[in-house]
A and B are shown apart, each in its own frame.
Chain A
Amino acid sequence: MEKLPTTSESIPTDGLFRRSSWSRFVESQIQNVMLLCASLSILTTVGIVFVLLNESVYNVTGGTAFFQEISPWKFLTGTKWHWDSGDFGVWPLLTSTLQVALIGGLVSIPLGLASAVYLSEYATPRTRRIIKPTLELLAGIPTVVYGYFALIFITPYVLRPLFGLVGLEVGVFNGLSAGIVVGIMIIPMVASLSEDAIRAVPQSLREAAYALGSNRFDVSARVVVPAAFSGIMAACLLAISRAIGETMAVVIAGGQNTSGLSVNPLREVFTMTSYIVNVSSSDVEAGSLEYKSLYAVALTLFCMTLTMNILSQWIMRRFRETYQ
């Protein structure tokens, strides 16, 4: 086509150019306000890390930190936790915590995983629509309710008669009942994350297995679950991390054993979280060693859960990449 003249001579086009105005300014500032909101989540993380380090590792706001008075080595290796005598060995708290988390895992992982397999491989869409939200209700019930239920029902009416049969005595407060309810409250989490992982397994893999003459059991137990294994692992890690950080159920049902290492789940335990609640509800003075020990324990707890979360996310990311 031959060259056309442009219409620029007739119509002024400077109307296209940006004009500065109040509304333009506001428009540009909105993004900054939103960015500020988003940054608050970073600030929260920084705040948590700062607060924990400030009181436990190195104090910058005046005073000395916990580990400036108590050697970190003694803290990490000590097997006695008696603040009156200055023994701050974290192992009694750690074993209690791990014990409850282990019981929680033993309850939640098989039940949660089996529910996930049922919901994704067997249940009709209708059943799924009813069961799934009901299962989620378990996660919605406040943890204080679980603690109370463990204390007034599970221990006296389930564990005592059961262990009574074999002649074992169960304490009013015990790690087992706490662990059981912690396990139950995280079933929905295991179930829903495992179900996501199972659903991520491509349909073609299932079809291939069926085509080879497998039945539903072979397909789910030998093909789907192994294929989703790392995703399920990630789900379990996240669940255990939740169990480690769980507080109210163990505070109410687990008791506060101060006699040293606790290995018997039928006796009182003293987890890191119940120690924190215990110290903060007693009248300890801010700045005392006992008060600062709270932060050292919280720091330990935070590091443990964070490590597990990051590990879980890493596994989950690698798992997703496998099927994309």
Chain B
Amino acid sequence: MTNPLLGGAKRRGVWFEYACLLATWSALFFLAVLLLVILWQGTSHLSWEFLTSFDDRITPEKAGMLAGLWGSFWLMILTILFAVPVGVGAAIYLEEYSADSRLARIIQVNLSNLAGVPSIVYGILGLTVFVRTFGIFSKGALVERLVGHHVEGLYFAFGLHIPLPLKTTVISGALTLSLLVLPVIIVATQEALRSVPPSIRHASLALGATRWQTIWRQVLPASLPGIITGIILSLSRAIGETAPLIMVGAATFLRATPGDIETPAQMLTNPQGVMNAPFDEYTAMPIMVYNWAKQAQRAYQDIASAGIIVLVVVLLAMNGLAIFIRNRSQQHLRW
């Protein structure tokens, strides 16, 4: 420290590094506090009964998450069914077929804009298009005038009834969440497809495989771990979404599960229930947390913590699975 100028500069550098370090750690510190507070508040309410009983308006101690668990389960299943094929298909078009066409560029810009649309706007879209369908099915409106009589839904064999409009059913919620996660799935799948070296595609084409055979037999299998990881991560975003589900009418208080399926075994023993579930009323885990959190009674707020623990455990499990799949595939494949 003979040179005072040098010493000053050095000290400033050290301060700057510590400030950056502190900022990084403060964010992590916040995460730790958040998790600790919630664990501290909620653990005492966690029990098997909490997972297997319905909500309770009068005695908070009896409130459970069963309806939300099954609601979120059905939402995720249907979201996978809608969003995954469409999302992967769109990504395949953009990466494998379009080759930088004007349309592809428009779609690409559109995707990044969609990713920035607040989730509540998707909720409004779902409310208008899926839940109400612009009111064209209501009494005296467009459909009645066209068909000549009031339409309440479509009836199929085996007692399957699809209400029209879809109203506040699981399927409305799942369609809304599908639109919400679609851009995320598309972008993640594109990245996975891009990681497959072009030489594999060329080799396949040179062997007389068609474009689709090349995609189906080479590109998709090679990029599958990446695609699955992306899908799981986007679903873990969807499972915590609350605002759009409030908009499309997920029930805040409900003592029933979709299709009255309350145990995994009933998935097999109650096929009628499985068929009806998508067209049934529902609630979801984050909706229940929201509902409990806004109750004035302190006891319900503790229940909310228990609900959050369940939700976060599910989220961590999904993230862990995604990381596991990614690491495994990295060990197996090296180009």
Contacts and interface: CB of A to CB of B under 8 A. Distances in A.
Contacts of B23: 110-111, 113-115, 118
Contact of A142 (B94, B134, B315): B315
Interface residues of B, number: 93
Nearest to B213: A27
Nearest to A30: B212
A144 B124 contact: no
B286 A61 contact: no
Given A51-B128, A217-B9, A111 B27 contact: yes
B160 interface: no
Nearest to B311: A142
B256 interface: no
Contact of A41 (B107, B141, B311): B107
A309 B112 contact: yes
Interface stretch (B198-206, B240-248, B265-273): B240-248
A174 interface: no
Given A48-B117, A140-B315, A145-B38, A42 B106 contact: yes
A109 to B, nearest CB: 11
Interface string B213-250: 00000000000000000000000110111110011000
Interface string B1-41: 00000000110110011011111101110110110011001
Interface string A17-40: 000000000010011011111111
Interface of B is mostly: helix
B177 interface: no
Nearest to A246: B118
B117 A302 contact: yes
Interface of A: 27, 30-31, 33-42, 44-45, 47-48, 51-52, 54-55, 61-63, 110-111, 113-115, 117-119, 121-122, 131, 133-135, 137-138, 140-149, 151-153, 184, 187-188, 191, 215-218, 220-221, 238, 241-242, 244-248, 251-252, 273, 276-277, 280-281, 286-287, 294-295, 298, 301-302, 305-306, 308-310, 313
Interface of B: 9-10, 12-13, 16-17, 19-24, 26-28, 30-31, 33-34, 37-38, 41, 85-90, 92-94, 96-98, 104, 106-107, 109-114, 116-125, 127-129, 132, 134-136, 141-142, 179, 182-183, 186, 210-212, 236-237, 239-243, 246-247, 252, 286, 289-290, 293-294, 301, 304-305, 308, 311-312, 315, 319, 323
